[in-house]
Structure 1
Amino acid sequence: MGGNALKGFLTDQCASIKRALEACMPTTIHSWCIWHIMKKIPSKLNGYKGHADIEREMSQIVFNSHSKDSFDRNWNDFLLNFGLVDNKWLSVCVWVYYADLYEDRHIWVPIYLDHHFWAGMRSTQRSENMHSFFNKFITRNSLLIQFVKQYDNCLGSREQAERESDAADFHTVIPCATKFSIEAQFQDVYTHQKFREVQAQFRGYSVYEVGEQVSSSILNKFVVTYDSVAAEVKCQCLLFESRGILCRHTLSVLSFEQVSQVSPRYILERWSKKVKRRHTHIKSSHDEPLMEPRSKRFDQLVFRSQNICKFASESEELTAFLHRAYDNVMAEMESLKAKRKGTSSLSHEDANLESVNELQSPPRIRTRGRPKNRLGSKLDKQIANATKKKKTKVLSEVKVMFFKFVVIEFIFLINSLANM
């Protein structure tokens, strides 16, 4: 981290991690995963009558409170209406300290965190998505050598997907949903994935649909402040401050003020299609010489296909013609690929047979160091001969003693039989 503390830290609900971050990184903004907290509601409140209404009301307060004061007020009313004042997990208790959710509201309720930039992250599910991605290649039963190979394949597929995404960003265009010139400004800079998120806000301020007519409803009002001199705009919903995207309320005001271009401060470089990833230039074992030409061929094909599709979409006749041509080309390419695959496999078998016939034992070379059969000195030979003679003499004496013992036993047995 270059000796600098993190700006934000997103974790599960854990008091130990909370205390550790407060001690080690006091300037870091700590946030709990709101998905894990909301998932605990059924287990914590299942014993209460009408727990389904409790869950629904709690979600409404957590996600739709647009100020800290309104959240505090709605939370207290929520506890009183459902009789949850004595619940240690939820209640605010002024005479006894409880490590409850309300006490830690500043690290999990969105309205308390939206003043800080989180790039749209509210939960730790991003890491879980990475686990799911790696599980496609690696299992818990994988051997170490399998892990190394599959991890390499995993990185290769990831980089290939990034190359294809880059090619689509540079050679294809997502049509604008409105005639607002600011939308075209984001279209020219942002990647396709991020532009779709921005485009949803443009659609939101220009298109409305009546879903249900009700007699009484809650009308949320958002205050948007626009400074034409400084070209600054700020909305009460804090969508740009937390996610880096201009909200529909802000876009409505800019459209009303007939603003044609937004300040560069509202176009974040981190989501620009021209940003080069640092890890793309890191060499790895799966970087083959064929990968770069393949990427270039893919870019060229995408660029040409864009022009063809644009031309064919002008009429139904041209579109149908392109579909037929596409089917014919696909059939020919599949046939050519199958034919080349059969030829390459046959040549590979022939090469293996030739290599087997030519295999011979490697030439022997003299190894360095002391040979196994070292030439012994005269003294070594004398010691060995003396030891051998001594062993032979002892063995002969043992044999004589054993023979004498057998003879004595035999004589004693004959005398005993004679006396009988």
Structure 2
Amino acid sequence: MTVTEFETQWSAVVAEFTLEHHAWVQKMYLKQYNWAEAYLRRTFFASMRSTQRCESMNAYLSRFVQHKLKLFEFVRQIDRALRNIRTTETYDEFKTKYSTPVLRTHLQSLEKHDPQLFPLRVFSNVRDKMLREGAVIEVKTVKAVDAALYTVTEFGTPTTCWIVIHNLHENNIQCSCQMMESVGLPCRHMFHVLKVEQIEKIPDNMVPRRWTKKAKEHNTCRTTIPEVDTDVSEVARFSALSAAYNKMCYNATKNVEAYENALVEINRLTLTYEQ
């Protein structure tokens, strides 16, 4: 929905229910820039909603804890929940690295390129956009020397149009639906242009690093930890070491020799820092 469409539909709803002088409706309208999706399309939220973090965490933890648990039982159950998260993440990484998805879309060259870039969960999301590309219909095309402008609609919604611009010089694609800007993933309209242009690999601007297999790679150089509260600093160091430790363990379990060497070093460092 565009800003103009939002304003038109808001006015229509207010008029239909005679809410022109309703205090709450007026108050919400003044805050439209903070909640109306039409005004937030350019803002990156990674598909998250305002209550998503609270609701999803509560739903997950309710599988492990109950309100009558003693404190030591609560701590033990939280540890179980964290181990389950880490196990699931390791399993996903294993599947991403050692499995090959079965091709399901009509854009098979793009679909083959997709798992080389994205982890399995992200790949499934992107592949869904490829499947939905089949409903996109090209209405008008205007081509220039270094750019092409496509006007597209979709089957079932002929009155709604989107503008997709393909910069031929930079191989850069932008869509007026702004899913790339707000979610960080390519939309079905972009894939339609790739199909029309016979492009068999997903352009770099459609592959944000945060969603790729390389997202967890980080600079191993030591960073300066600011002088903050001791407890906060300790938690920050623990989190950084845990992330590095998990990555080392994942690689060390690939063969027996690496596993044994890692175990020896872990025991040696443990004895060193316990002193």
When the two structures are superposed, what TM-score results if normalisation uses the length of structure 2? 0.68
1:167 CA drift (Å): 0.9
Distance in 2 between the 1:203 and 1:120 partners? Answer: 19
Task: Please state which structure has a larger fraction of its residues in strand.
Answer: 2
Q: 1:162 to 1:114 in 2, by over 3 A?
A: same
Distance in 2 between the 1:149 and 1:194 partners? Answer: 32
Contact kept in structure 2, 1:118 and 1:242, CA below 8 Å: yes
Are 1:140 and 2:80 matched, yes or no?
Answer: no
Q: Where does residue 179 of structure 1 map in the other structure?
A: 107
Q: Where does residue 188 of structure 1 map in the other structure?
A: 116
- Aligned residue for 2:192, secondary structure, equals helix
Distance in 1 between the 2:240 and 2:97 partners? Answer: 17
Are 1:205 and 2:158 matched, yes or no?
Answer: no
Are 1:245 and 2:185 matched, yes or no?
Answer: yes
Alignment of 1:17-416 (within 5 A): 65=1, 67-91=2-26, 100-176=27-103, 177-206=105-134, 219-276=159-216, 282=242, 296=254
Distance in 1 between the 2:195 and 2:16 partners? Answer: 42
Superposed CA RMSD in Å reads: 2.8
- Aligned residue for 1:219, secondary structure, equals strand
Distance in 2 between the 1:228 and 1:277 partners? Answer: 31
Q: Give 2:10's aligned amino acid.
A: W
Contact kept in structure 2, 1:180 and 1:255, CA below 8 Å: no
Distance in 2 between the 1:137 and 1:181 partners? Answer: 43
Q: Give 2:242's aligned amino acid.
A: I
Contact kept in structure 2, 1:68 and 1:111, CA below 8 Å: yes
What percent of counterpart residues are identical?
A: 24
Q: 1:267 to 1:218 in 2, by over 3 A?
A: closer
- Aligned residue for 2:161, secondary structure, equals coil
Distance in 1 between the 2:165 and 2:215 partners? Answer: 31
Contact kept in structure 1, 2:109 and 2:200, CA below 8 Å: yes
Contact kept in structure 2, 1:231 and 1:262, CA below 8 Å: no
Distance in 2 between the 1:173 and 1:86 partners? Answer: 59
Residues 344-388 of structure 1 deviation map (CA, whole Å, 9 limit, x = unaligned): xxxxxxxxxxxxxxxxxxxxxxxxxxxxxxxxxxxxxxxxxxxxx
Q: 1:145 to 1:249 in 2, by over 3 A?
A: same
- Aligned residue for 1:101, secondary structure, equals helix
Higher relative contact order (CA 8 A, sep 6+): 2
Contact kept in structure 2, 1:170 and 1:273, CA below 8 Å: no
Q: 1:296 to 1:141 in 2, by over 3 A?
A: farther
Contact kept in structure 2, 1:119 and 1:242, CA below 8 Å: yes
Count of matched residue pairs: 211
Residues 266-286 of structure 1 deviation map (CA, whole Å, 9 limit, x = unaligned): 212222234437859518xxx
1:296 CA drift (Å): 4.7
Q: 1:89 to 1:269 in 2, by over 3 A?
A: same
1:113 CA drift (Å): 0.8
- Aligned residue for 1:226, secondary structure, equals strand
Q: Which runs of 5+ in 1 are unaligned?
A: 1-64, 92-99, 209-215, 298-420
Q: Give 1:81's aligned amino acid.
A: E
Q: Give 2:13's aligned amino acid.
A: F
Distance in 1 between the 2:214 and 2:57 partners? Answer: 25
Q: Give 1:266's aligned amino acid.
A: M
Contact kept in structure 2, 1:163 and 1:295, CA below 8 Å: no
